[in-house]
A and B are shown apart, each in its own frame.
Chain A
Amino acid sequence: MANPKIIVVGGGLAGLSAVIKIAEIGGSVDLFSIVPVKRSHSVCAQGGINAAKNLKGEGDSTAIHLDDTVYGGDFLANQTPVKNMCDAAPGIVDLLDRMGVPFNRTPEGLLDFRRFGGTLYNRTAFAGATTGQQLLYALDEQVRRFESEGKVKKYESWEFLSAVLDGKGICRGICAMNLRSMEVRTFPADAIIICTGGIGAIFGKSTNSVVCTGSAQSALYQQGAYYANGEFIQVHPTAIPGEDKLRLMSESARGEGGRVWVPKQKGDPRLPKSIPEGDRWYFLEEWYPKYGNLVPRDVATRAIHKVVYENELGIDGQPMVYLDLTHIDRKILDKKLEGILEIYQKFVGDDPRDVPMKIFPGMHYTMGGLWVDFNQQTNVPGVFAAGECEYQYHGANRLGANSLVSCIYGGFVAGPNAMKYAKSLSAPTSNGYFDAERKRQEEMNYGLMNNQGTENPFRLWRELGELMTRYCTVIRYSKTCREADAKIVELLERMKNVNLSDRTQWANTSVVFTRQLYNMMQLARVVAQGAAMRDESRGAHYKPDFPDRNDKNWLKTTKASFAPDADEPRFSFEPVDVSLVPPRPRRYDAVK
């Protein structure tokens, strides 16, 4: 193809990064997004972006960033791509700086850096506590510039339904649905890049945005793409429990000195501020003296679980602990954390500058995702992936502030590689696959619209979320994970009896949601079965019956593939690239 056409699905940091690279090297790109891209979930990232620029005279280096990342990920990440990402990170932060991101500054006017979990270095560049928002806007602005030059065409309010595959299984485009007219249409492309983010909705309530359903990843998995390490789900230690979602309280709150504690006395009725130091238990600082409150997320999450459920020391007997900033100067808090303090204040009603916050762990991130090679290509020719929707960079646990850099780096790798692939692609022999795929999707819609059942999809979703949160998050048992899988099969069966209370052909959110829900359930089985199978504890995956990491049997990547006839996942495994940092025990209670 002389002038390749690339389709990018998803307009968060990964998608926009891919678009920018393609436009810059002269490619033509169509960008598909459910929401206007400026409203993508990347906007929620708070604390910052990691880059070992060593501007604090600490002797930090990209090699130490690599070591922290693979150690934090409990040695499950392929090390070559992680090294490449860590090496690229300082240049990425410089680029964002040039694009006008209002990063916090030192008195000399240089970028300021703060500490984040899982490292002893000040490596995290930040723009207040709304770094993701600022990064997303910077890339959104550059894409808007390319759009005004005619190099990018946006399709907002379109949802990806599936890839169009030819007779040889090569991707030739996508099938998508307009979320207003409900029109189902196919779009030809020489390569596609999936940048569709997280899967939070599978767990009902999470820190993710509404669009983070994992539906696109699941659709591709059902079309033959491998889904890797699905069992690795990050539960963030500090979220604000809510009716509609769990709102993130950024790790930067601890990076700036926030301390986690509970009253030593069970059911202590005193207000937090009137509890003297001696009656408080700073359990993270006691258990992990070196890293203190900045242990990696999985470690902090399990510690909070233990204090609440085993020691029964949750505040007022509720599953909550204090995250305390009240000892820090208000002016510093406003300068560095205002965005997140405002969220707490608005949604809870208390001012965290005066009153310790009440927090509890919440589902936050999926380390697993579409399997990709080192060029960001999936096993389906012509389908690339970047960002949270793929599995490459974080192993068994992601370090804070590594997600933004992995999104941008992944997009920067995927864009040019998709172009390279597309240029060497030969034309398809037939166009019949487009009509066939469109009809398949239209029939699915027709079936849903005309189903005369009794099940409400939104209520089925609640059941799925409660099931997954209960059995497939912080603590896992093989038996209950298998039981959860069996219950998902029941839910899938009940899906056949669904009844949409909306049968109109205009902006029908029920049809859209029900389609997503089906895909969520298929992917939830990958998570549950993967968790049931992996008999060890590694990073975010913790089984009390197998409390240790088992490199002999489990230092390997899980790959799920969909078996259409059996309607369920099949699993295979592949070795992990450990060519740069030999695996060693991961212990945060001692110097690593």
Chain B
Amino acid sequence: MSVDTAAKAPTGTKSVLFKIKRQADPNSAAQWETFEIRWKPGMNVISSLMEIAANPVTTAGLTTSPITYDANCLEEVCGSCAMVINGKARMACSALVDQLEQPIRVEPLTKFPVVRDLAVDRSVIFENLKAVKAWVPVDGTYDLGPGPRIAPREQEEAYPVSRCISCCCCMEACPQFNEDTGFVGAAVIAQVGLFNSHPTGKALKHERLAALMGDGGIQECGYAQNCVEVCPKDIPLTRSISEVSRDVMVQAVTDLFRR
């Protein structure tokens, strides 16, 4: 993942300046607050937000409320803390302060409804995963012996895609992901590819591809390739999209002749 081009904060810098976009609730207007906090080695945007919670005073000397944000694992694997930091969608826990230009501007993701401050509602991705049946249809959880044999090469293909953390950075960065198109987004398309390639998962391939046809489906992709740029897990999203796109097209044609 690329980092901001700014030089490292000079040693001897004793404080860090943050500008944080705040919004009291979904219907209020947004406003900016500025905070200056003490520099510490290795600090990141989440540790800075924790610092502000312990001393919620702006640079203007006004006492304010701690900032509301989503965060959980702080190891970039739970997908909670996606924000727009210095104009770029990324995970706040791995946004190291020393690699960011100051003042560090922190905003909520813009393509999702704001809940409060930096917390947004990303339930759309889970709904979309439901719509494309992103699961392997097992018969049951009783002991039925081992799963299908899978060659190491197939595992190595599937593994990177299975690391998607549903952070929605790819959707935030995508010019086609908006209310007009209703585009499902790169993350969900990649999951379709993942489950369609699984020996048991492919039983639902037809239904998954059908769900990606028409408005909001895979045709909305404009190949801007922003998704793959911002993905914190380096998932080969554009490759997934072209493979699934090809499958959707083949199926659309076949369905046409079968009608």
Contact = CB atoms under 8 A, between A and B. Distances in A.
A100 B201 contact: yes
A107 B79 contact: no
Contact of B141 (A21, A100, A335, A348): A21
A105 B129 contact: no
Contacts of B141: 20-21, 24, 95, 142, 412
Nearest to A144: B130
Interface stretch (A68-76, A282-290, A501-509): A501-509
B126 A509 contact: no
A134 B159 CA distance: 9
A42 to B, nearest CB: 10
A100 B126 contact: no
B200 A41 contact: no
A412 B140 CA distance: 13
Interface string A95-107: 1011110111111
Contact of A501 (B63, B80, B159): B63
Contact of B133 (A94, A130, A145, A247): A145
B54 A110 contact: no
Contact of B150 (A95, A109, A339): A109
B12 interface: no
A107 B40 CA distance: 47
Interface in A1-54: 20-21, 24, 35-36, 38-41, 43-44
Nearest to B144: A98
Given A95-B143, A144-B135, A133 B163 contact: yes
Contacts, number: 199
Nearest to A95: B141
A492 interface: no
B68 interface: yes
Interface string A487-517: 0000000000000011010111110000000
Interface stretch (A238-246, A254-262, A371-379): A238-246
A109 B149 CA distance: 5
Interface string A127-151: 1101001100110011011011000
Given A100-B200, A510-B65, A35 B80 contact: yes
A293 B46 CA distance: 33
A105 to B, nearest CB: 5
Contacts of A104: 152, 155
B151 A109 contact: yes
Contacts of B145: 94
Contacts of A504: 24, 65
Given A105-B151, A347-B96, A507-B25, A134 B68 contact: no
B50 interface: yes
B134 interface: yes
Interface string A337-357: 001000100111100000000
Interface in B188-224: 195, 198, 200-201
A91 interface: yes
A187 interface: no
A458 B50 contact: yes
Contacts of A110: 146, 149
Contact of B66 (A99, A109, A211, A458): A458
Nearest to B201: A100
Interface string B104-132: 00000000000111010011001001100
A108 interface: yes
Contact of B43 (A243, A339, A506, A507): A243
B79 A244 contact: no
A210 B69 CA distance: 12
Contacts of B96: 347, 349
A423 interface: no
Interface stretch (B70-78, B172-180, B247-255): B70-78
A536 to B, nearest CB: 35
A141 B134 contact: yes
A111 interface: yes
A35 B72 contact: yes
Interface residues of A, number: 72
Contacts of B166: 36, 38-39
Interface residues of B, number: 73
Nearest to A208: B73
Interface string A182-216: 00000000000000000000000000011100000
A343 B76 contact: yes
Interface string B24-57: 1100000000000000111110110010011110
B73 A97 contact: no
A134 B165 CA distance: 10
Contacts of B135: 99-100, 141-142, 144-145
B17 interface: no
A458 B65 CA distance: 12
A157 B166 CA distance: 17
Nearest to B45: A244
A504 B162 CA distance: 39
Nearest to A243: B47
Given A99-B138, A137-B162, A506-B25, A105 B78 contact: no
Nearest to A510: B66
A80 interface: no
Contacts of B116: 180, 506-507
A346 B3 CA distance: 10
B225 interface: no
Nearest to A111: B146
Nearest to A461: B54
B93 interface: yes
Nearest to A241: B42
A524 to B, nearest CB: 19
B158 interface: yes
A519 B68 CA distance: 21
A91 B140 contact: no
Given A35-B80, A343-B76, A458-B66, 10 more contacts: A44-B77, A98-B138, A98-B144, A102-B155, A103-B155, A134-B162, A156-B123, A346-B76, A347-B75, A501-B66
Task: Rank and list the top 4 A-B pairs by shortest CB-CB distance, nearest first.
Answer: A109-B149, A97-B147, A502-B65, A244-B47
28 contacts: A39-B72, A39-B80, A39-B166, A41-B72, A41-B73, A43-B77, A44-B73, A94-B147, A137-B162, A144-B126, A144-B135, A148-B133, A210-B71, A242-B42, A243-B41, A244-B43, A244-B47, A346-B76, A346-B94, A347-B44, A347-B96, A456-B55, A501-B66, A502-B65, A506-B25, A507-B116, A507-B119, A509-B66
